[in-house]
Structure 1
Amino acid sequence: MRAPRRHRLHARLLLGAPLLTALAAGLAFGCAQAPESSPEAGAAETAPNTLTEAEREAGWRLLFDGETTAGWRGYNLETFPDTGWAVIDGALVVGATATDPDVAIGGDIVTTESFADFDLKFEFMLSEVANSGVLYRVIEEEGAAIWYNAPEYQVLDDPAYIEMGTMDMHTHLTGDNYDLHASGEKMLRGPGEWNEGRIRIQDNLVEHWLNGTKTVEYELGSPEWEALVAASKFAPYPRYGRAESGPIGLQDHGRNVWYRNIRIRPLEPVSLFNSENLDGWRVHGTERWYVEEGEQGGEIVCESGPDAEYGYLVTEATYRDFDLTVEFKQEADGNSGVFLRSSVEGTTVSGWQAEVAPPGLFTGGIYESYGRGWLVQPDPELDAALRMGDWNTMRIRADGDRVETWLNGTKMVDLEDEQIGEAEGSIALQIHDGGGIKVRWRNLRITDLGR
């Protein structure tokens, strides 16, 4: 089956060619002192290596305290390297004690803790001709280099390596998924200036960001990813990118790189339904919503009532950027849906619906009620993913102005829309009017993606 095309409605322009900054001139770097960098050059607005109250409440944690190497150790080691790395002026510095800047003497380092799905932010400052990387879900294997098994966010003095002209730098520049995916439009600040990198991974969907711009996106284990790996330098390493969890790694490739403000927010799903009652939800309309015991525990049942009108079950909490999975079973008719970023007054809904419908009626498509109608419908051949009368799993990912849906593992639609991107609201389950409808719901789990 064909993969869905990405549909854009009044979407921003995404450019494909890298935007590189000029190589900074006249900067000299010592091994034990970081170059000066002004706040205008990208320094943090708050004190380095601290969290705001809002960040703490959102679940962010520091991986580096700015003073010690606590929480880090050498790759394949139990302790932190006694040479090469050092903490200098609130930064964790690669090659800090090296006498030859092109010789990596400290080796790679990793966190003492492992992470599965997460949002990782870090600031880095390059020296001239710097080369490093941030790796994730690291697998430690005796005799194997760290990159044999772990995907890498490339950190590099791009202009210097492009100027050398000794190799094809496609997929080898800052923000790239090293050797597999090349960055799109970006802005890299040169040596002596701070940059912010970001890696977000949730349910094997990975994003790299640089200074607020997404540079690449890929899905671990997807057919595209498998084909790229098979044609890359990673082909001989069967464990590459296969770990479900692992440490975060920083690479020592020679030359100084300063890291600070390394912070992480684990992305862990929470349940929207307690399996016992409808606490946390509001019923709109006269249609029937109730909880019934099922094979795996409690299930929400929506069933047409005597009025046979529209009805909604709406979360009391609101959500903006999230990844939601729900299971549903259409016992009769099955015309329903999951609304995102919505609000409901009486039985009038404002928002966007991921369609749940009988066969042939575009389950997984995105519909705007009382507005523009269908924004995108799945290709008809994708409807084969629907299992009428049996349990189905729908996944809805809303991130900024982009909405994606999957049905039983099949990607149904991929939409970008500015109006959706401006909204925030509740999750709502719908029962359609007309009568004769009965749908069961269970395992409603949401992951807050933050901003």
Structure 2
Amino acid sequence: MNLKRIAVVTLCTLLCAGASAKGKGADNTLTTKEQKQGWKLLWDGKSKNGWKSIKGGPVPATGWTVENGTLTIADNNNKTSVGDIVTDRKYKNFELSVDFLYTDGANSGIKYFITEDKSGKISNVACEYQVLDNLLHPDAKLGHDGNRQLGALYDIFPAEIKTPAKAGEWNTARIVVNGNRVTHYLNGKKILEYERGSQQWKEGVARSKFSKRDGFGMAEEGYILLQDHGKKVSFKNIKIKEL
């Protein structure tokens, strides 16, 4: 291949790469197509705006940090000393997309239908898209048939994942809620679908740790929560489309 040909190929490669990156969009932004479809950012990639502490007040100054375009919970040696954070407002029917990266042995989660408890405080008990290192965290071996592993509806229904996610790599969780029908996705593939209130749901809740909680997971709307479970986990590209 002559020098002229090499130059043309190199230029094409650079232009194609640039076009691809432009089409995908930068982190923590919405493409024109996403905006037209009704997507909204739940996190701006720069501040802690739009979120609050489950304990009341703003997101803690320490523990949860904004670093390199990620919203990251620090490693606290599996001690939940900082606390979970939730969105400023509640959501009903929606499609939620969140990129996450977990470290070795990490445990976290993306919860939805979070509501206030009987005392008026925001509860941390609700439906949970489990974020877990299946290889190193002991919770992966507990529960029933893998219902505490990555992508599962925590302690109720397991996810069907053919290609395991790895610690230190970015993955995309997607949760679609349309009435009582809920679907979990991982990296674009459907891994779980269930219907709240169905017989299967009732049986799953009955054998879970939530069996004594009246009306568990049946709220019509709720906050979205990112969990602090004592190990470092990062989130970015947090966006939602209300249905």
| Pick aligned residue for 1:58 from 37, 42, 46 | 37
The aligned runs of 1:223-242 (5 Å cut-off) are 223-242=199-218
Higher helix residue share: 2
Residues 103-131 of structure 1, C-alpha deviation per residue, up to 9 Å, x if partnerless? Answer: 22210110001100000001000101010
Can you give the 5+ residue segments of structure 2 that lack an aligned partner in the other structure?
1-22
RMSD: 2.0
| Pick aligned residue for 2:231 from 255, 275, 296 | 255
Tell me, yes or no, if the aligned pair for 1:186 and 1:210 is still in contact at 8 Å. Answer: no
Task: Kindly provide the amino acid, as one letter, of the partner of residue 246 in structure 1.
Answer: G
Task: State the secondary structure of the residue aligned to 2:218.
Answer: coil
Match of 2:50 in 1: 71
| CA apart distance, 1:252 | 0.6
Measure the CA separation in 1 of the matches of 2:149 and 2:226. 16
Match of 2:65 in 1: 86
Measure the CA separation in 2 of the matches of 1:69 and 1:61. 16
| CA apart distance, 1:144 | 7.6
Tell me, yes or no, if the aligned pair for 1:199 and 1:209 is still in contact at 8 Å. Answer: yes
Give the paired residue count. Answer: 218
Measure the CA separation in 2 of the matches of 1:144 and 1:49. 27
Task: State the secondary structure of the residue aligned to 1:50.
Answer: coil
The aligned runs of 1:35-434 (5 Å cut-off) are 45-95=24-74, 98=75, 100-141=76-117, 142=119, 145-147=123-125, 150-161=126-137, 167-168=142-143, 170-267=146-243
Measure the CA separation in 2 of the matches of 1:160 and 1:238. 33
If you compute each CA radius of gyration, which structure gives the higher value, 1 or 2?
A: 1
Residues 348-386 of structure 1, C-alpha deviation per residue, up to 9 Å, x if partnerless? Answer: xxxxxxxxxxxxxxxxxxxxxxxxxxxxxxxxxxxxxxx
Measure the CA separation in 2 of the matches of 1:187 and 1:48. 24
Q: Using the aligned pairs only, state the percent identity.
A: 39
Match of 2:10 in 1: none
Between the two structures, name the one with larger relative contact order (CA 8 Å, sep ≥ 6). 2
Task: Kindly provide the amino acid, as one letter, of the partner of residue 54 in structure 2.
Answer: Y
Residues 119-162 of structure 1, C-alpha deviation per residue, up to 9 Å, x if partnerless? Answer: 00010001010100000110122478512xx1000001111136
Task: State the secondary structure of the residue aligned to 1:226.
Answer: helix
Tell me, yes or no, if the aligned pair for 1:123 and 1:196 is still in contact at 8 Å. Answer: yes
Tell me, yes or no, if the aligned pair for 2:55 and 2:122 is still in contact at 8 Å. Answer: no
Tell me, yes or no, if the aligned pair for 2:140 and 2:149 is still in contact at 8 Å. Answer: no
Residues 258-290 of structure 1, C-alpha deviation per residue, up to 9 Å, x if partnerless? Answer: 0000000000xxxxxxxxxxxxxxxxxxxxxxx
| CA apart distance, 1:190 | 1.2
Task: Kindly provide the amino acid, as one letter, of the partner of residue 64 in structure 2.
Answer: W
Higher strand residue share: 1
Tell me, yes or no, if the aligned pair for 1:83 and 1:105 is still in contact at 8 Å. Answer: no
Measure the CA separation in 2 of the matches of 1:262 and 1:165. 25
Measure the CA separation in 2 of the matches of 1:83 and 1:140. 24
Task: Kindly provide the amino acid, as one letter, of the partner of residue 94 in structure 1.
Answer: I
